[in-house]
Structure 1
């Protein structure tokens, strides 16, 4: 499906911009940065691209945060000292929690003059109406944000959900990820939002990681850097601030910081060689924000149980001074137990500002935080001058996203604008580009159409026939079967008997949620049945879940055909069916190492 002429022109312009910056980043790969002069020009498809020109637009955001600005000065002068503190705060908002929640948010806006909101679950029209109401009540236009790693559909109904990073990590064409960034930015703008807490630039090199996993582009630092750049440049080319996370790298932990404080035992040698690499590259390319994680790194700051969010050596010395990051430094949510387990509301916010953060996100208590910060100023633990500088920085970000000319969201045609054919086309291309073929013994794929032969298509872990079965049935004769979770013994016996007459079985494996999972959550008996089929039949397996879950099936290596599709999104299920039918080819590569048999980069 083709773009409109206008969109195609914009896309081509910023695609060229992305390629220039990406090639600059690649040219600095594995180099000694303090000695090497950056490349002045690169050649791509016989076109000369001036590197300094290509980085001008994204870095305009960083420059604008520190440039003198009449609008910023005018707004700043109208704020009281307390209101300047509140401008540093982003509070949570939901469009599905009813009137009481709405009044609570309005109270924080009217009384304390908080600087922004982060929206979570709800619907686009409801959120747009609430945003208009909240903006009308605010003394200063609010910076509206969302934690939307895979687009606004990750948080709300009636919106497109783009694939998550593990799937994107399998794609060999990063310009598709740039295009996704553009689409997500356009949806943000249509909803009156300005800042996305994405991309995730963590390197997931720990299969047991309970919180990053499929949220990361993979385990290879170069892939993570290039794909993060593509996503970030796509968003910021359309005027949406991107926020790289979770500094200084959350990929190698086995503790979820939502529930406790992870401890990272590594020092600078390891961090410099791996975790910090994508942050360095995305900072050089002009990312507008960086989110700091709640992790304890004793070799960087030995203070007992101190999250990195509250560490001056990590936030100021490393991120701001050594890595020279001049954008918005944002805390991870201040309500997470990795922080609240050791620091009370108020004291946590004071320490976060002492560490060097600019934005305090999702506070436990705004009144307690403001009171504690005021006390810290009186005690000379914080200075009003530093608060004022950060307030102006946030106001400058508001200016960059256009809030100096704030206009209410137009509700008419909102749903249609958020579900454009262009966005569906982008999702389709991402889904098709990610299909990863690990086994194709006897050229079982594509499936052959034979007279009077039906393929048995068994979906495991689904509660009913799936979209994958429906689409595959459009290409060839199939008979569909379902093995749900918590199946009973009788149902499994009947299924075994029915499958006996088929020489070849297509198995679709589904996790327990629409999002990828860390486990398939199949019972021992269900796993046994699947292993039996793999051992006895010519099986073709498609995994619609986290690639790491391949380890749960002992006989998976015996599959004649093995495809990793990474997610259950409908475009992904359709792409898998098209691959099996020979309508598309497999171009994806595993972005992570699963075990000794399925390694990073595998893919036929």
Structure 2
């Protein structure tokens, strides 16, 4: 059972009494509702009223909505809920994880590349202040995964890196800044992503490290965070075979479960060996990593029975609640386990001061996206952008000597043609022209299709000018990659818009070429022929501006790469 006087709760007798009185006065339906975090997509009064008064939700996250809409939504939840709710955001890179108007400061990879802790502290502080302005009190971060597999793109940019000491240092700094601002953290994704390449949205993840390897990587990170007072842990739909077998030597491989359903990992490893006393929340329960391991009924009952205190997202409100109720009634979820979960949930709320809630004033919204935060974003870009290699010794580039630039911008296929082209392309063209370059930026297949869909557009992407004409008219090729992937494929590799496209690097032996990634750090595997490569970690205006400054020598490269950029290849280093 939880100890509410111990860390991370550190509750006074008065607050513990509030927890006890609140639980005592709950109906069974209200108790079940406390276990759930709702993904709020609709904000009409009828929907919000139903969530509060019928389903009695314990927490909320959301998607979409303007700054003011999110503020009013969260204010409604806190003013109308019998028990104040935990309001969570994904502040992994700044305030943009709370609201679209928020400030992107730095990804985890950028924080890891920066040689100063200022970058992660600025990212966390801005994220906390902007999230708090709309009523948030909980962040699903830090991402404290240790990325040892270069093929992993699920947490490639979200995690701080491959060195456990660095990951722990950055994670602790993040947590300190969040706590200073009054938010609590949920470190993720226990037992650890980054050692394999698959996406738990699509398949059960497998952390296949030995127990000794795990202790020296993920274990070291989690132990340091827990000892420092980590309030909550988000558990991934990721199994850890070695530790499952250590705590249950008789278990068969076919019975090994993701951590969300595994008492061996939750009770034996996290609570027992690591001594975690805080709240455990599942990762999103619509992921195939969970649905592949159990049907919905047994998943809803099983995650709570195994040791998770809160369930991230409903599938069907009525159905999920009924499943949990049935599990309580038939003893799958014991009375003790339910009581323990409720004490942790209410204990976290008391720790946050929700027993005496004061909601932010609307004037506080002015801090979201403010000029000071944009300045910190530019500072983060300056500290993190990394020159991985320049074996051809081309940098810095002088616009007077290499004026005519051909920009190949390699982007992911848009979800819809209505989304338009990647806005970073125009930002980059504008910054290059401002620096004194003459820029030609050919349309890619997606842009042709947006202008006028045609079966001939793919052939337009195959057309080439003569090599001699090309060399006469081009001083420099800038090859920029902004690939994105999420819950669609198990890893994201560089992909050209059509086969045999003129985007494919035929030009590297014709004119000087510089390659830049605005996102993933592992693209050298697909373009090892690039002799100059930069990891820029972001496509916001601040990052684009600083990138051009560094390419032209107006600012030095300050970031440091880790060895996964070489993708275990000799040719990527040449």
- For the superposition of Structure 1 and Structure 2, which TM-score range results when normalised by the shorter chain? 0.7 to 0.9
Partner of 1:170: 113
Pairwise CA distance, 1:409: 4.4
Partner of 1:142: 85
Pairwise CA distance, 1:367: 3.7
Q: Are the structure 2 counterparts of residues 581 and 254 from structure 1 closer, same or farther at C-alpha, using a change threshold of 3 Å?
A: closer
Task: Please tell me whether the aligned partners of residues 305 and 334 of structure 2 are also in contact (alpha carbons under 8 angstroms).
Answer: no
Correspondence 1:306 to 2:280: no
1:551-590 alignment to 2 at 5 Å? 551-556=525-530, 559=531, 561-590=532-561
Partner of 2:449: none
Task: Please tell me whether the aligned partners of residues 200 and 238 of structure 2 are also in contact (alpha carbons under 8 angstroms).
Answer: yes
What is the CA deviation profile of residues 484-508 of structure 1, one whole-angstrom value per residue up to 9, with x for unaligned ones?
Answer: 2467555642596764225630414
Pairwise CA distance, 1:72: 2.4
Instruction: Supply the distance in 2 between the matched residues of 1:255 and 1:450 (Cα, whole angstroms).
Output: 46
1:488-507 alignment to 2 at 5 Å? 488-490=458-460, 492-494=463-465, 499-502=470-473, 504-507=475-478
Partner of 1:458: 407
Task: Please tell me whether the aligned partners of residues 195 and 241 of structure 1 are also in contact (alpha carbons under 8 angstroms).
Answer: yes
Instruction: Supply the distance in 2 between the matched residues of 1:209 and 1:504 (Cα, whole angstroms).
Output: 35
Correspondence 1:78 to 2:25: yes
Pairwise CA distance, 1:295: 1.9
Instruction: Supply the distance in 1 between the matched residues of 2:324 and 2:364 (Cα, whole angstroms).
Output: 44
Partner of 1:63: 10
Pairwise CA distance, 1:579: 0.5
Q: Are the structure 2 counterparts of residues 523 and 129 from structure 1 closer, same or farther at C-alpha, using a change threshold of 3 Å?
A: closer
Partner of 2:163: 220
Partner of 2:522: 548
Q: Are the structure 2 counterparts of residues 428 and 296 from structure 1 closer, same or farther at C-alpha, using a change threshold of 3 Å?
A: same
Pairwise CA distance, 1:67: 8.5
What is the CA deviation profile of residues 322-375 of structure 1, one whole-angstrom value per residue up to 9, with x for unaligned ones?
Answer: 101111111111222211233233422322222222222113244444444444
Pairwise CA distance, 1:596: 6.1
Which segments of 5 or more consecutive residues in structure 1 lack a partner in the other structure? 1-58
Correspondence 1:535 to 2:509: yes
Which segments of 5 or more consecutive residues in structure 2 lack a partner in the other structure? 1-5, 245-250, 412-420, 447-456
Q: 2:240 aligns with which of 272, 279, 297?
A: 297
Partner of 1:363: 314
The normalised TM-score by structure 2 is 0.84
Q: 2:434 aligns with which of 474, 480, 486?
A: 474
Q: Are the structure 2 counterparts of residues 65 and 384 from structure 1 closer, same or farther at C-alpha, using a change threshold of 3 Å?
A: farther
Q: 1:411 aligns with which of 362, 367, 380?
A: 362
Pairwise CA distance, 1:597: 7.8
1:47-446 alignment to 2 at 5 Å? 61-64=8-11, 69-94=16-41, 97=42, 99=44, 103-154=46-97, 156-301=99-244, 302=251, 304-412=255-363, 414=365, 416-441=366-391, 443-446=393-396
Name the SS for the 1:547 alignment partner.
coil
Instruction: Supply the distance in 2 between the matched residues of 1:210 and 1:319 (Cα, whole angstroms).
Output: 26
1:4-19 alignment to 2 at 5 Å? none
Instruction: Supply the distance in 2 between the matched residues of 1:142 and 1:391 (Cα, whole angstroms).
Output: 13
Partner of 1:29: none
Aligned length: 534
Q: Are the structure 2 counterparts of residues 285 and 394 from structure 1 closer, same or farther at C-alpha, using a change threshold of 3 Å?
A: same
**Greater Cα offset, 436-445 or 391-400:** 436-445
Task: Please tell me whether the aligned partners of residues 92 and 118 of structure 1 are also in contact (alpha carbons under 8 angstroms).
Answer: yes
Q: Are the structure 2 counterparts of residues 407 and 327 from structure 1 closer, same or farther at C-alpha, using a change threshold of 3 Å?
A: same
What is the CA deviation profile of residues 242-293 of structure 1, one whole-angstrom value per residue up to 9, with x for unaligned ones?
Answer: 1111111111223321122223443312211223221122112222111111
Pairwise CA distance, 1:66: 9.6
Task: Please tell me whether the aligned partners of residues 180 and 234 of structure 1 are also in contact (alpha carbons under 8 angstroms).
Answer: no
Task: Please tell me whether the aligned partners of residues 434 and 565 of structure 1 are also in contact (alpha carbons under 8 angstroms).
Answer: yes
Pick 1 or 2: higher relative contact order, CA cutoff 8 A, min separation 6: 2
Q: Are the structure 2 counterparts of residues 88 and 525 from structure 1 closer, same or farther at C-alpha, using a change threshold of 3 Å?
A: closer
Q: Are the structure 2 counterparts of residues 223 and 373 from structure 1 closer, same or farther at C-alpha, using a change threshold of 3 Å?
A: same
Q: Are the structure 2 counterparts of residues 461 and 62 from structure 1 closer, same or farther at C-alpha, using a change threshold of 3 Å?
A: same
Name the SS for the 2:564 alignment partner.
coil
